Chains A and B, each alone.
Chain A
Amino acid sequence: AQTVTQSQPEMSVQEAETVTLSCTYDTSESNYYLFWYKQPPSRQMILVIRQEAYKQQNATENRFSVNFQKAAKSFSLKISDSQLGDTAMYFCAFMKPIYGGSQGNLIFGKGTKLSVKP
């Protein structure tokens, strides 16, 4: 069974600074997807970034980037130029496609509560 581990329950960062959230996972699969989701106080799940395991290049989305180390099964999220609106719970998630590239269920880590301080 796949597992996802986020070892940092809480983190804080000053506005405009950079912060890195850690995530490790365990799987015997070779084809899978990794995600970072943001859950603000509204509790709406928002996709931050995704990474396909077969792609060696690290995904980036504006101020968000990942450091994907497949051999080490590590998938950290870097947030640059942190903004107050980045304050939220961040969940790392693993997904194995079930068929035809369709989405399987997501397996989530326990989350990291990020606070951006002015």
Chain B
Amino acid sequence: GAVVSQHPSWVICKSGTSVKIECRSLDFQATTMFWYRQFPKQSLMLMATSNEGSKATYEQGVEKDKFLINHASLTLSTLTVTSAHPEDSSFYICSADWDTEAFFGQGTRLTVV
């Protein structure tokens, strides 16, 4: 099966700083990737759809200026949490589809202190 790699697995940052999370499709090309957010003991909520070579599509209520998404190549999408605050602490997961199946990264646990 296809492999999606997400990095880092966990990160701790100070309030007010920015953090970049990478999502790579290792053995296939992905024109579309998805970014989800998961709060403790809750489900995954779609944040945005990342489109290669064009602007991301954000879900209602997601601040596009805070969660910057860049999909510069067919194998890499990045999510940058800008000016992070403690309420941004969460588990972030990316996915990409191959052969009509979604493959997920390992997730990134972000803690803002």
Q: What residues make up the interface of A, taking CB atoms closer than 8 Å to B?
A: 33, 35, 42-45, 47, 50, 91, 95, 97-98, 101-103, 105-111
Known contacts A108-B43, A110-B43, A103 near B107 by CB under 8 Å: no
Q: Which residues of chain A are within 8 angstroms of B102 by Cβ–Cβ distance? A: 35, 47, 95, 103, 106
| B100:A103 contact, CB within 8 angstroms | yes
Q: Chain A at the B interface: mostly helix, strand, loop or mixed? A: loop
| A111:B43 contact, CB within 8 angstroms | yes
Decide if B54 is an interface residue (CB 8 Å cutoff): no
| A103:B32 contact, CB within 8 angstroms | yes
A3 to B93, CA, bound (A): 20
Q: What residues make up the interface of B, taking CB atoms closer than 8 Å to A?
A: 32, 34, 38, 42-46, 49, 91, 93, 95, 97, 100-102, 104, 106-107
A48 to B45, CA, bound (A): 19
A111 to B38, CA, bound (A): 12
A101 to B32, CA, bound (A): 13
Residue of B whose beta carbon sits closest to that of A106: B102
Q: Report the minimum CB–CB distance from B102 to chain A (whole Å).
A: 6
Q: Which residues of chain A are within 8 angstroms of B43 by Cβ–Cβ distance? A: 91, 108-111
Find A47's partner among B38, B49, B91, B101 (CB 8 Å cutoff).
B101
Residue of B whose beta carbon sits closest to that of A102: B97
| B101:A50 contact, CB within 8 angstroms | yes
